[in-house]
Amino acid sequence: MNEQTSQNETDLILEQLRPRMRSARIGHIRRMVGGVALVPLLAVSAAVMASTNGGTSEVETAHSIPEDTVPDVELPDAGDADGADGIDANVEEATTSTAAPTTTVPSDQIVHDVDLGELGTAEVEETLGGEIKAISYGLTEGWEVISAEFDGEHLVVVIANGALKKEIIIKPGLHGELSVIVEEVLAPTTTTVAPEPTPVAPVIVDRFVVEVPGKGSFVVEREGDTLWVGDVTVNDGYTYEVIKAEGWKVYVGFLNGEHIWYGKALINDNTEVEIHRWDEAIASEPVYQWVEIAEVGAAKFKLYDGQLRVKELAPSAGFEAWDYNEGAPASTAKVDFEGEGQVWFIEAWINEAGDMDWNSYQGD
């Protein structure tokens, strides 16, 4: 009977301990599962720390616990779930997101689709700092980009189609938009300025001085078959007169009021220059006389020391004049005017009184 009583007391004690043993067993199993999950987490943390510190620590990889090491867990009965055994059940919920990651455009960049009109389109990126750069182009066929440069304010794009070039200027506009200016690039033009013709100086074949001893001298220049009188030098007490300044012969007279001394230069038949000198007494003052043929021309004659010479010819428009004496003094003088199919003559002579007479007429 004592043994029966002892067995009954033992069963009673076990029955009272069963709920507590069941709760302790469940807690033990949970601690084991948590330890298994903690091992790989510790391994990953150690790897991250080693990478961050730049170290070379070795990291052991936690292996899965063999199934035969996990004790069989007796599932709690319905009384455990609703706390019938006096212990609340712990339920953990995990939320998993399967949404795809989103790409965010940097807030300091704006992409514009720029319309270039008949030239096509361009995709341009603008930063809040004000820089503009082209990302891509959709140019009309035949056009190609030669250069693109941001100058600090504008994006300048040069495009070409053969010899034709255009410059596209893109800059910030109103309301956050971009403004586009298209200008044609003109080819540089070369202006050739024709050089001014250099005046052709006379070809001086010879230059020499004709000396009239004691009276003076004059310079003679020659170009081909023509002579010119140049500078004249006069001695004290004398004056001079250029009688013929240009032609195949030239001469100058030096005077002292009573006498005249001549110096002459001429081109002879051998194209050589000859120099002659002579002198004459001065009988009276020279007399100058103009003779005119209306609408044809006029001639100026000089009467001096009993001789005539032609001093000047003034033909009218359309006429030319000639001196038959070629400037040489003589007792008579003759000139003619030719033009418009006409020939006119003036003849002069010294009459018995020592004066000059003249006559004009039209020739055949």
What does the DSSP assignment read for 2-54?
HHHHHHHHHHHHHHHHHHHHHHHHHHHHHHHHHHHHHHHHHHHHHHHHHHHTT
pLDDT at 342: 94
* Residues 288/297, Cβ–Cβ less than 8 Å: no
The residue that leads in pLDDT, 321 or 44, is 321
pLDDT at 18: 63
pLDDT at 13: 66
Q: How many angstroms separate the CA atoms of 316 and 301, rounded?
A: 17
Residues 6+ apart with CB under 8 A from 363: 336, 343, 344, 345
pLDDT at 183 over 70: yes
**Residue 150 banded pLDDT, cuts 50, 70, 90:** confident
pLDDT 10s digits, 234-253: 999 999 999 999 999 999 99
* Residues 349/357, Cβ–Cβ less than 8 Å: yes
pLDDT at 50: 45
- Which tokens sit at 35? 């330890």
pLDDT at 167: 86
* H-helix or E-strand spanning residue 81: helix 78-81
- Least reliable range by pLDDT among 82-91, 160-169, 208-217, 306-315: 82-91
Mean pLDDT of 118-122: 86
pLDDT at 109: 76
The residue that leads in pLDDT, 7 or 361, is 361
pLDDT at 314 over 90: yes
**Residue 87 banded pLDDT, cuts 50, 70, 90:** very low
Domain range list for the chain: 16-55, 109-185, 202-281, 283-364
